[in-house]
Structure 1
């Protein structure tokens, strides 16, 4: 998969790239009512590939409220329907705290970096 960019909303950019066989959706900007569909379109594209999981990198998200939370819940449900895992990179408080307060963090696989998320996807060697 080559890098694909979705920029249908002026306040948000979503790029899909493949890293080590896993699609990483890097989201930059504000996730709100006007931009949630751009994020979900990128998620659907990522889930259409043959990889075992999808990583949503929200490191550069500057606004994240209730619509962002519901967008991640929908993305999680879409991944489950495809029998894939959704891993979310959310190192900053502006994204992580709303997920923790609402309990959504208990359902999602949260990470502090893309490398950490990718490492979590690697099988543990057996002895």
Structure 2
């Protein structure tokens, strides 16, 4: 999969790339009631690939409230239904803090960088 732009609007841009067999969806802008469906559509398409997991890179998300939290919970449920893993990259306070305060961070696999999220998906070699 080459880089593919799913959707661009004044509030949100969603792009997907494939890195080492894993779809990485980069979200830039605001996740709110007007844009949440676009994010979930991208997640659904990402889970349609043959890879074992999906990484949602929210590093460039500038607004993230209750709708964003609901969106990630829905994405997590989709991952479970598909038997795949979902790793969330959210280094900035605007996204990480609401997830921590609500306890959702305890359910999701959160990482500070895409590289960390991808590394966590690699099998650990046994000795």
What is the root-mean-square deviation in Å for CA atoms of aligned residues?
Answer: 0.8
* Counterpart for residue 11 of structure 2: 11
> Aligned partners of 1:117, 1:26: CA distance in 2, in Å?
13
Q: Number of aligned pairs?
A: 127
**CA deviation after TM superposition for structure 1 residue 10, in Å:** 2.2
> Aligned partners of 1:113, 1:77: CA distance in 2, in Å?
22
| Runs of at least 5 residues in structure 2 that lack an aligned partner in the other structure | none
TM-score by length of 1: 0.98
SS in 1 for 2:7: strand
Is the 1:9–1:38 contact (alpha carbons within 8 Å) kept by the matching residues of 2? Answer: no
SS in 2 for 1:99: helix
**CA deviation after TM superposition for structure 1 residue 4, in Å:** 1.5
Is the 1:8–1:38 contact (alpha carbons within 8 Å) kept by the matching residues of 2? Answer: no
Is the 1:9–1:34 contact (alpha carbons within 8 Å) kept by the matching residues of 2? Answer: no
**CA deviation after TM superposition for structure 1 residue 7, in Å:** 2.1
SS in 1 for 2:94: helix
Deviations 1:55-89 (A, max 9, x none): 00000000000000000000000011000010000
> Aligned partners of 1:26, 1:8: CA distance in 2, in Å?
12
TM-score by length of 2: 0.98
SS in 2 for 1:110: strand
1:10-29 equivalences in 2 (<5 Å): 10-29=10-29
Is the 2:8–2:14 contact (alpha carbons within 8 Å) kept by the matching residues of 1? Answer: no
Deviations 1:86-121 (A, max 9, x none): 000000000000000000000000000000000000
